[in-house]
Amino acid sequence: MKAAAKAAPEMAVHPQSRRAKQMHKAAVRRDRLDSRAGARERPEVRRMLWFRDAILHDTQRSYPEPEMHVLVSQYLARYDETLDEILSELRPGASLPTNAELMRTMVQRERDAYVSGALKVPNLFAKKNVDQLRRWSGDAGGVSAISTILIRKTSTLEPEAEKEDNSAMDMV
């Protein structure tokens, strides 16, 4: 039998060497990519987290349609105070900061989706789904296990899965 090959001892790298610069560059890139990955959450995950936090300490098992609309209204108003504060501190004639403009655009898109019936929210009618949403840890992988519905501001709700099935039948 051959003796196991000895692993080469890790040699110290001179601080001004080319290898040290390469290692530093790789570490900075890795940190930058990690920070971007955390900042780039999916909007659907953020939406589910908001609804989970809104119902987390409530003892209600399911929510009727009027209460769903109240929750959605609260969800759409979540940045109103922040935007009002930013606008009040803004000099006359100055443009909005980028983050405030992004918030305003995102909320407007969600409001338009709510009016048109394309806002996807967790199905809080089903007791099983409410319990599942409360138990959800907040990771992106668990979002698919929570059933969602499309909600419209003035009319009734329809489950997302049924809508997709009906549209598939219309195509045939």
- Residues 45-94: pLDDT tens digits? 899 999 999 999 888 899 999 999 999 999 999 999 999 998 888 888 88
Q: How many domains does the chain have?
A: 1
**Which pLDDT score is estimated for 147?**
94
Does residue 48 belong to any structural domain of this protein?
Answer: yes
What are 82's two structure tokens?
A: 């922040």
**Which pLDDT score is estimated for 30?**
85
Does residue 29 belong to any structural domain of this protein?
Answer: no
**Which pLDDT score is estimated for 140?**
82
**Which pLDDT score is estimated for 5?**
58
> Domain residues for 64?
43-171
- Residue 62 and residue 95: Cα distance in Å, rounded? 44
Residues of the chain with pLDDT under 70: 1-10, 35-41, 155-172
Does residue 74 belong to any structural domain of this protein?
Answer: yes
DSSP secondary structure letters along 21-73: HHHHHHHHHHHHHHHHHHH---HHHHHHHHHHHHHTT---S---HHHHHHHHH
Does residue 84 belong to any structural domain of this protein?
Answer: yes
- Provide CB contacts within 8 A for 56, sequence distance 6+: 134
**What CATH number does the domain containing 136 carry?**
1.20.1440.170
DSSP secondary structure letters along 142-171: GGGGS-EEEE-SSS--EEHHHHHHHHHHHH
**Which pLDDT score is estimated for 167?**
39
pTM higher than 0.75: no
Does residue 144 belong to any structural domain of this protein?
Answer: yes
